[in-house]
Amino acid sequence: MKIGFIGLGKMGFNMVHRLLINNHEVVVWNRSAESIKEIVKLGAEGANSLEDLVAKLPSKKVVWLMVPSGNPVDKNLDLLLELLGKDDIVIDGGNSYWRDTQQRAEKAAQKDIHFLDCGTSGGVWGLQNGYCLMYGGNKNAADYIEPIIKSLAPENGSVYCGVSGTGHMVKMVHNGIEYGMMQAYAEGFEILEKAPYDIDLTKVADAWQYGSVVRSWLLELAVNALKDDPKLEQLKGYVSDSGEGRWTVQTAIDFDVPAHVITASLFTRFQSRQEESFAMKMLAALRNQFGGHAVKTKE
């Protein structure tokens, strides 16, 4: 199958590489010309603009977007809607907010163009292991791109979720769960690290992968990290977020769902970015005021 692919970041580049390995033809465009040159060496066909990319595709054009959420998606989609025709397909494979996806699908439908949303999980390991794909939108359009889905995903690693927005909603909740799982591992390992014993965290994490109810791919990745830096001394405790946790919490509020763990894990990430917390200073000050408890000053 021949498709267009826009966005050659960490995920996009490897996804195109996997498609090429599976004998698909891929026309690529990216803001960085260097990335285009690198993937062309692997067999892709380069384009010098969106117009050029669309012109190089056969009828019933399929274009996969792998760009950051928000404005980059809208800008590319608006341009593509002027270049594509009836029954052509645009796929947003990035992490977009599902409500935005619904609006984009409606805009595309006004021009008889299908807009599919595909949540993509697999990170930098996807090239080797495949990507778990959660996709939604028009069923006929979704069926049409099935050869692409089958090549990108491992066996049983894809799911058609339903109407427009459902793919991105499922991926959003997936990432919210991921936040909670990561936080639980982080807290558990800190308890062990603080214990007055010489516990080898790498060996513990490795053993937990066999028969334990907490075994997971995340735990496997924890073993990798601990092997490289057993005390994580080379890292700062600064954890960013790319939006999915916030959207999950907001959706939980919208649906009146008590999502305690996911919400707490999101707020913990916010806390990790504070060099000094005014809230913690206020807590210390209040304890000192009502109980005379000792405080630590900068001096």
**Is 171 a residue of the active site?**
yes
DSSP 8-state code for residue 296: -
| Measured distance CA(79)–CA(97) in Å, rounded | 20
- Residue 119's alpha-carbon distances to 35, 95, 140, 165, in angstroms, are 23, 6, 18, 10
- Counting beta carbons within 10 angstroms of the beta carbon of residue 188, is it exposed (0 to 12), middle (13 to 18) or buried (19 or more)? middle
The active-site residue out of 41, 60, 171, 233 is 171
Q: How many CB atoms lie within 10 A of CB 292?
A: 8
**Is 178 a residue of the active site?**
yes
Strand order in the sheet with 158-162: 45-46, 25-29, 2-6, 62-65, 89-92, 114-121, 132-136, 158-162
The active-site residue out of 41, 60, 178, 227 is 178
Catalytic residues: 171, 178
